[in-house]
Amino acid sequence: MARLPQQSDERNGKNRTTVSAIPPSTAIKPAPEAEGASLSSVSAIQLEGGGMQHDGVRRICPHVAIDTRAGSGYVSNQIRTSKYTMWNFLPIGLYLAFRLSTNFYFLIIAVLQSMSVISPLGPMTAIFPLVLVVCISLLREAIEDRNRWLSDRKSNLKPTRVWRQGQVLDVVWEHIQVGDVLLVRDKETFAADGIVLSSSDENGACLIDTSNLDGEANLKPRSGLACTAISRFPDAVQPSSGHLPRFTVQCEPPDVDMYKFTGMLELAKEVHALDEQQFIPRGSTLKNTKWVVIVVVYTGHETKMMKNAKEPHHKLSHVDGILNRAVVFIFVAQVTLCAVGSVCHKLWAAPFESAIMDKQAGVESVSGVLTFLSFVVLLNT
């Protein structure tokens, strides 16, 4: 096998060795079982189920059977951005509704107005308006979350082509696993984070559009390594025209940095460095390239896109914040006025009460509470 001579890197003061590309015959020919067992890293990965993460390094062995890789412990490629499930929607929805001071205030008033001893109103008259407002709020939350669920479902059920067991199969996105080899055509979106192996370009180069991820309209170039670019991977016209060589990928654990990737690819007992020029994030689109083949390194919520996505949370708008403060101020003022009114009522009624009845234990305190609550209902209306 011919090798290129060592090149000296004057800037870093270090020698850098460039490994020549292996001949096409070596890259295309499937390696026998004994040959794969000679690599300690590949052997370890096979024993661990086709993939593992140890000492901060993720090791991926694409040629291991799909059933074996399924037990590797990596997350699935299914994503979920909705806030609720069928079981937690009602309790969380009610909590969010009554987190607003306005709804909580009118809940207290509705309970007081339902007490016949202090209010002439019937229970339905007091509670119905509040129930109507809360139901409308829950309905709005349900519609918005259902739209998020439908968007997730549409994304999870998109089909893509996966190279498995010597043939190209149509597989939905949510069933893609770490170590799968994907065949992506022009103008199609990448289903997971991966590294470029080969493309329709003889040098393994391709262009991707990342405007959905970072808003940049310029196309970004990506390219595979020389040792994989010359391999005849399946193209869009004749899927059975190529063979998948045995190789192992080692890379760093998933992180949020969209423009950083470090790893290495081990093929035919030779190690090749990987960087961001080989990395393609989920959500980007292939442009001006007939097809490209990638190997999946991150899936689902471990992809760069999902790592940078904000967790769905429940926030109050600026108007809601103003209303909350206004209701608190009104409630404090109302309690103060009710307390003053109760004291004045007690002072005014004291001579009459002492003249017509003997005070019994506890009656005076209960009468004071009822008077205070009556003022609350009166001032509210």
CA 72 to CA 45: how far, in whole Å?
A: 9
Range of the domain at 287: 17-77+176-308
CA 121 to CA 145: how far, in whole Å?
A: 37
User: Are residues 200 and 291 both part of a single domain?
Assistant: yes
Residue pair 177/69 in contact by the 8 Å Cβ criterion: yes
- Which pLDDT tens digits describe the chain residue by residue (381 residues)? 333 333 334 333 333 333 333 333 333 233 333 333 333 333 333 333 345 555 568 888 887 766 666 556 788 999 999 989 889 999 999 998 898 888 888 888 888 888 878 877 777 877 888 999 999 999 999 999 999 999 999 999 999 999 887 778 899 999 999 999 999 999 999 999 999 998 988 888 999 999 999 888 899 999 999 888 765 555 443 444 456 678 899 999 999 998 899 999 998 888 999 999 999 999 999 999 999 999 999 999 999 999 998 877 777 778 888 888 888 898 888 888 888 888 887 777 666 665 555 555 445 556 777 888 888 887 776
User: Are residues 215 and 295 both part of a single domain?
Assistant: yes
The last residue of a domain, from among 252, 280, 308: 308
User: Are residues 296 and 355 both part of a single domain?
Assistant: no
Burial code of 14-51, b = ≥16 C-beta within 10 A, e = fewer? Answer: eeeeebebbeeebbbeebeeeebeebeebeebbebbbb
The last residue of a domain, from among 265, 280, 308: 308
Say if 4 falls within a structural domain: no
The DSSP bridge partners found for residue 264 are 250, 273
Say if 103 falls within a structural domain: yes
User: Are residues 106 and 154 both part of a single domain?
Assistant: yes
SS3 of 210, please? coil
- Cα atoms in the 13 Å half-sphere on the side-chain side of 78: 8
User: Are residues 217 and 232 both part of a single domain?
Assistant: yes
Structure tokens at 309: 């996505």
User: Are residues 300 and 192 both part of a single domain?
Assistant: yes
Q: Is the pTM of this model over 0.75?
A: no
Contacts of 4 (CB under 8 A, 6+ apart): 18, 19, 20
Say if 170 falls within a structural domain: no
Say if 6 falls within a structural domain: no
User: Are residues 89 and 56 both part of a single domain?
Assistant: no
The CA-based angle 276-279-284, given to 5 degrees, is 120
Say if 277 falls within a structural domain: yes
Contacts of 13 (CB under 8 A, 6+ apart): none
Torsion angle, CA of 353/359/361/366, rounded to 10 degrees? Answer: -10
- Sign of dihedral through CA atoms 95, 99, 102, 106? positive
User: Are residues 67 and 109 both part of a single domain?
Assistant: no
Say if 32 falls within a structural domain: yes
User: Are residues 183 and 276 both part of a single domain?
Assistant: yes
pLDDT, residue 31, reads 33
CA 223 to CA 197: how far, in whole Å?
A: 8
Q: What are phi and psi of 48, to 5 degrees?
A: -90, 5
The last residue of a domain, from among 101, 129, 159: 159
CA 113 to CA 380: how far, in whole Å?
A: 10
Nearest to 230 by CA among 206, 250, 208, 201: 201
User: Are residues 192 and 293 both part of a single domain?
Assistant: yes
Nearest to 117 by CA among 381, 331, 371: 371
Say if 7 falls within a structural domain: no
SS3 of 83, please? coil
pLDDT, residue 372, reads 82
Total domain count, the chain? 3
User: Are residues 110 and 251 both part of a single domain?
Assistant: no
